[in-house]
Amino acid sequence: MTDAEQQALLSTQATQGQALEYLRKILLAPVYDVAVESELTPLNKLSARLGNQIYLKREDQQPVHSFKLRGAYNKLTNLSEQQCIHGVIAASAGNHAQGLAMAASKLGIKATIVMPITTPDIKVDNVRRFGAEVRLVGKSFNEAQAASIEFADTENKTIIHPFDDADVIAGQGTVAKELLQQQPKANVVFIPVGGGGLLAGMAVYLKQLRPDIKVIGVEAEDSACLKAALAQGKPTDLEQVGLFADGVAVKRIGQHTFELIKQYCDDVITVTTDEICASIKDIFEHTRVIAEPAGALSLAGLQKYCQSSSGDESLVAILSGANMNFHTLRYVSERCELGEQKEVVLAVTIPEQKGSFRNFCHTLQGRVITEFNYRHASRATQQDIAHVFVGVRVADQAERQQLISLLEQENYQVSDLTDNELAKLHVRYMVGGQNPVKTQERIFRFQFPEYPGALEKFLDTLGEHWNISLFHYRNHGAAFGQVLAGFEVNNDDSLDFFNHLKDLAYEWQEETNNQAYQAFLA
């Protein structure tokens, strides 16, 4: 045997020994002192839609609504009495903090948690509720982690790393133990990745018992530290991370976790914010659970995988947490249809003349308009044009392209803004401004039942007779639609205009003297 062959053999034996040690740790982890065996929930409607058997491993059912309790408790039970005298400390974006706080409370150990100032209030409040001290430091996990190391040195506290620790990794690996007991024939498992503790622990267990199973890590596109590490061959710092999926907002993958992931993970998928939002909606519709963005990450990766898979597989996604900041739901609701590719956002140029909006609606051939933003700007010539921001509901990507082609065939100038972050985050809310043309403009708020054709009925009754100078409409999926509209109404036409409003039979209220309109739009 050559020196190189002998070195390779020793390396293989060391790797196998490490894997067996993790397997032993996982099997003996006493996590059920505090954790529960979470359910494996079949997602029947999604399975039918995607042509695979899809399951959701429900770590939202843990007492802290996250898998992090497993690793934290397993680590604390392996500490010596000396290591616990001055208490323990950790840096966390939230869920590890709650898990450690509860585990420490269970074992009578004083816990201090250092959290980034960006951490949602729900997670800060929950940590304090479990009796731990919270220190808010820095704008990212890395800054909080640096502070926790300093506090540990000066106060003689024992650091409990949120992911890059063998006992923490083993504790998270117990999720895989349950999964194989619940669904021994699973083909592919999708696991969210932040620092890598859950993926490393589950992957090393799954591959020992089922070498044929495919293990796929899923990352947020704007926090892809694993993808960066694989490209460099070692853990590397990201310049910045996105904060929407705060539970995985980690700049650098762990060293220990990376070595295990590199050995036992088959692939990594990155997903967008819109795709995460769509998966939050899917989880809610199947389970009535509101997953946090990091918790829905793996299902988003699963759905992306299904776009190119052959089907007829047993697929499992890990719902890793459900500590959602309630106010984030507004953002999720706006973005989920884009993630499902069921809404297209367009900038369209239409003629600035009476009836042009109505004609545009007819061109859509009955498709639902989800949003329409328009503010009249000028009328310098008879060939004036108007630029409108419009959202339209579509069935899929193919219909999106068909709609754009249809509008172009009707000689509309169209720009597709569906993938434009500036348009989706800001411009859709900023279409407006004061009208530079002095007109006899009157402003009305309308409310009408949401049914197919309701908006067109509105336009048929009013849009042909009076020029619309301002229009804002957003379909929120509620029973009633809300419209803010401006009309150029001369004094001589007022009686006729109000008679048409009466014929319309929608609820309305004039807002011409409203302070907000006068300040920003008049």
* Rounded Cα distance, 124 and 195, in Å: 20
Cβ atoms within 10 A of the Cβ of 123, count?
29
Residue 374, strand partner residues: 471
Alpha carbon distance 211, 497 (integer Å) = 74
185 flagged as catalytic: no
Residue pair 204/22 in contact (Cβ under 8 Å)? The answer is yes
Nearest to 96 by CA among 127, 140, 129: 127
Given 68, 123, 177, 207, which residue is catalytic? 68
Strand 88-91 versus strand 158-159 pairing type:
parallel
Task: Spell out where 208-333 has E strands.
Answer: 214-220, 267-271, 314-319
Q: Which of 223, 320, 356, 469 is catalytic?
A: 320
Please say if 320 is a catalytic residue. yes
Q: At which residue do the structure tokens 């499992």 appear?
A: 316
Token pair belonging to 321:
């947490």
Which helix (H) or strand (E) element contains residue 437?
none
295 in Cβ contact with 271 (< 8 Å): no
Residue 311 falls in which region: left (phi positive, over 0), alpha (psi -120 to 50) or beta: left
Taking Cα atoms as reference points, which of 321, 220, 284, 340 lies closest to residue 43?
284
Under 8 Å between Cβ of 174 and 33? no
Cβ 312 vs Cβ 52: under 8 Å = yes
| CA–CA separation, 93 and 73 (whole Å) | 18
Which residue(s) pair with 253 in the sheet?
none
Residue 285: which residues within 8 A CB-CB, separation 6 or more? 45
| Beta carbons within 10 angstroms of residue 503's beta carbon | 10
Q: What is the number of helices (H) and of strands (E) in the chain?
A: 21, 18
Here the tokens at position 142 are 């890395």
| Contact yes or no for 187/158 (Cβ under 8 A) | no
Other CB atoms closer than 10 Å to residue 484's CB: what's the count? 18
Q: In angstroms, rounded to a whole number, what is the distance separating the alpha carbons of residues 343 and 424?
A: 12
* Three-state secondary-structure class, residue 75: helix
Sign of CA pseudo-dihedral 419, 421, 425, 429: negative
Tell me the catalytic residues. 68, 320
